Structure 1
Amino acid sequence: MEARVKWHENAVFIAESGSGHAIVVDGPAEIGGRNLGVRPMELMLMSVGSCSAVDIVQILKKARQPVSGCEVKVSGVRADSDPKVFLKIHLHFIVAGAGLSENHVKRAVQLSAEKYCSASIMLGKAAEITHSHEIAAAD
């Protein structure tokens, strides 16, 4: 797996994945950022959220659960001083589907957290990661 990050101007970088997809990354205004893209640490939260969401949807589909939607709200608390690493990360899953089993959703979240989500497990070595979930009406 590879990626490339190339400086564009000021604090703007173009990040390109090995699969050929690109995003704009920008820093805060105090270092010349112009709010043209996500911040690098926001990408970390987006990464752990999307990694976990993919797992949960796949686990529920394999269990033949009627999943019709999955949203993850990810929040992080960072250290006050440099390096401003994440100290805590919380993932709250809102899973939708008519007739979803509470036990299946709970188990899917647990399996993602403990076995499948590489991003969550890796970041969990440095930060406290917690999870919660709710079942919403079908989309």
Structure 2
Amino acid sequence: MEFQAKENGFVTQLSYGELHVSGDEQYGFRPYQLLVSSIAVCSGGVLRKVLDKMRMPCTDMKVTADVQRNEAEANRVEKIHLHFIITGENMKEEKVQKAIEAASKNCPMVQSVKGSIVVTESFELVS
């Protein structure tokens, strides 16, 4: 990836389109937003695959991310709590919990921040 400086941030051209990144939301996505988005979406995608393999396909999924940052340490991201709202039929809580644990262990983004950012998960089932 190559990033070109612009007046208020950076821009890169990707196959899907341009990505504008800036510390100011008026000019692009903030870096921490991209970090949290990567972790949330990767986790959700892996979870969907795991649920499919366990023969519990979900018909819909929503992921919310609660982020804790430490202002005293350069405003670093320290904790991310992911909450999955999963819609599907015949979902069993115990199996979904195991699926979430498997997804966390197999999500490249979660594993990339392991040891520096605490990532926790919870879920609720909607029928």
* Same fold (TM > 0.5): yes
Residue 31 of structure 1 corresponds to none
Equivalent residues in 2 for 1:5-84, closer than 5 Å: 5-11=3-9, 13-17=10-14, 20-21=15-16, 22-28=18-24, 35-84=26-75
2:82 is equivalent to residue 91 of structure 1: yes
Q: Which runs of 5+ in 1 are unaligned?
A: 29-33
* C-alpha contact 2:56 2:89 (8 A) present in aligned 1: no
- In structure 2, distance between residues paired with 1:93 and 1:4: 33
Q: Show CA shifts across 1:103-139 (max 9, x none).
A: 22111111112x20121122221122211111123xx
SS of the residue 1:60 aligns to: helix
Structure 2 letter corresponding to 1:6: Q
Q: Which moved more, 1:79-88 or 1:57-66?
A: 79-88
* C-alpha contact 1:66 1:99 (8 A) present in aligned 2: no
2:99 is equivalent to residue 108 of structure 1: yes
Residue 126 of structure 2 corresponds to 136
Q: State the 1:69 CA deviation.
A: 1.1
2:109 is equivalent to residue 119 of structure 1: yes
- In structure 2, distance between residues paired with 1:134 and 1:128: 21
Q: Which runs of 5+ in 2 are unaligned?
A: none
Q: Show CA shifts across 1:68-89 (max 9, x none).
A: 1111111211111343221111
Q: Show CA shifts across 1:24-68 (max 9, x none).
A: 22222xxxxx61322011110000001100110000111121311
* C-alpha contact 2:59 2:88 (8 A) present in aligned 1: yes
Shift >3 Å, 4+ stretches: none
Superposed CA RMSD: 1.7
Structure 2 letter corresponding to 1:24: H
TM-score w.r.t. length of structure 1: 0.80
Q: Percent identity?
A: 27
- In structure 2, distance between residues paired with 1:36 and 1:100: 42
TM-score w.r.t. length of structure 2: 0.87
